[in-house]
Structure 1
Amino acid sequence: MQAKTITSRPIETTTSSPMDPGIWSRLPGELLERILALLPLKTLLVLRSTCKHFNSLLISPSFLSQTKAHLFSSFLLLSHPQSHPRFPLYDVFLGRWRTLALTLSLPPTFVAPHLISTSNGLLCFSLPDSFLIVNLLTRSTRTVQFPNCPFVSATLIAAHPSASSSPMSPHGFNIFILCSNSAFVYDSEADRWTRFNGFNPILSESSHHEGVAHSGSLYFTTQDPFSIVGFELATGRWDQLSAHLPPGLTFIRLASSSDRRLFLVGGVGQDGISRNLKVWELGGGGMHWDEIATLPELMCRKFGSVCYHNYERVYCLWHDGMICICCYTWAEILVYKVGRRTWHWLPKCPLLPEKSSCGFRWFSFAPDLYALV
């Protein structure tokens, strides 16, 4: 059989012609939004400054609805004296620390700020005589002068762009501070403080004590004998939560989820020493606490060694489906994933020096271009 001879031909190469501005300038707005929605966040931030058209396009409701789901992940943000002015971020979805930390740029005349609260994309820093509210993505800031009263607790409550989560300032933010004999609430839209006199609870001596926002109120835990009290933001009225606390508690902390569930984290034991760590959820229309989780024994031993049974150092926060239990003197976080009902220790931050002292302050941070300052 005679073999066939196969000859190869050189592959023809073509050079791409430049894009015709006449065609691209007539691109429908809906298609342009769809293309821009695929860009990474860093590119979008640069694009905003190129022209007024892009700047207005990127803050339009239609564009926001396309991009928000994939652009804005949420992170655990770490504030520590040895990391200032940088703020390391832990990406829970990827399960690792980001190598690039956020940096706060301030004029040289500013004293080093102290991060005290975060809410819906905004950060609240404490300065010697004022609060500094910051959106790190837009680099926008607002300075709010302290009222004439030393405060023991400060909480930022920012409205969500798609829902009115701040009852007093539905399109801005509120700052709540608790003084020795009164409470003050700042309304960003009205740009004024309102003073509320009345009941003054003796709060737990936690190193990181913020109010927990839930159903239009801020809730706090009080010292032994433990109780939970709430401040209604719209009326300034104090009320004690009617649900009876579980027996044998050695300390209590609160966490509130984005879907309006209130959780209680507490140690159970005797003589002020916790033998177990449990989680309860408020049920029955706010009338009782339902136990939902117990920390495994080995992890409980580690938790006890971390805080040395000094529970004033312990605080809690809610982040992306997890209850985070933190310690002011420890670089790791103990988390309970509510949906999966599992416990985990998150890894230490590699961006900190090997020998880092106390001062670990963790916050839930969801970057948002549209959070108003």
Structure 2
Amino acid sequence: RALTKQTQQLMDELGIHIDPGAPVSRLSMAQRQLVEIAKALSHDAELVIMDEPTSSLSDREAEILFEIVMKLKARGKAVVYISHRMDEIMRISDDISVMRDGRYISTSDKNDTTIGTLINLMVGREMSDVYPGRAQPYLRPARPLLEVNALNLAGKFLDISFALHAGEILGFFGLIGAGRSDVMNALFGVGRPEGEILMNGKRVKLRSPQDAIAAGIAFVTEDRKHQGLVLMHSIAQNVTMASFELKGSRFGILSNSFERNETRHAIERMNIRASGADQAVGDLSGGNQQKVVLSKWLALKPKVLILDEPTRGVDVGAKFEIYRVMRELAAAGTAIILVSSELPEALAMSDRLAVMREKRIVKQFDAAGLSPQAVMSYATGAMQS
């Protein structure tokens, strides 16, 4: 009882609304992150280190964290805040230190630097545009590649309907708990929703991930360490994990030449920084791990690629590489669904944007010329559909 009372007091003080008795295993990624923050602040520490604390948080939860940081500073505490999000760094920092490839680069007073300067220091080269544009204007085919009609799953999402065309990037945006990841799981055969899913006009039944893969759907999940990789295995084993049965084996025996060729191609294409194909994925940086996850699915040459928070917890250079590959895939005809909690990313990389709130799609936009204010008004409920 004492522990529950103490936890509730701490949660109330921090503005976090989570039941102290709830099992952490049943919490969302965002809720787990808030619990982690509360745990760190349960000690009266003089120095608090926050490593990517907003990586799983929506803008609303991030505001709670920023208020906490300001309170810590006001109480004379020191905060080391590690983040790849430039707007956060510029907002809450006093001094900003840059590291690249495991080395210290420089430290600047926030008032004496700019986001552009920081990005150049982080990637080691000039980057005129963080979000690469299309090489050619997108011409939407008349017939959708994927159609989702009135998809429902009790407690997860309601009446989800949208179309996705070959070569298109369809963004999904919403606050934490809006139901975006649950929809993506259902499209990959996890769960048994009611409704209709069509590929090239033909109805498909996606009862398992195997069914989804057979239909040409690939899924980069938001939790790469637990759902996307086997950390103790090598880069080569992870890259070919999803494709060797279909493309790289005979009588159930893995082809070593397939594994070597596929891994070499992945390392070159994604610019994966590693000592070699045999290096354990768990030893790589977050950005390079994400590149391995993406490479695993690209080996299948999917028709539809679902990316759930593909740049979460990766640095600016790795983000640029992922964006570049997304553009290449779309130009080659791959249909992409991009789930992102970073509104600038969703706006810059999407051709159309679907906004979810309270388990439903409340609005679909053409992304060209779309303002962040318009998107947030639907995501928060300020504007009703």
Q: What TM-score does the superposition give when structure 2 sets the normalisation length? A: 0.26
Greater fraction helix:
2
Q: What TM-score does the superposition give when structure 1 sets the normalisation length? A: 0.26
Greater fraction strand:
1
State the structure with more CA Rg.
1
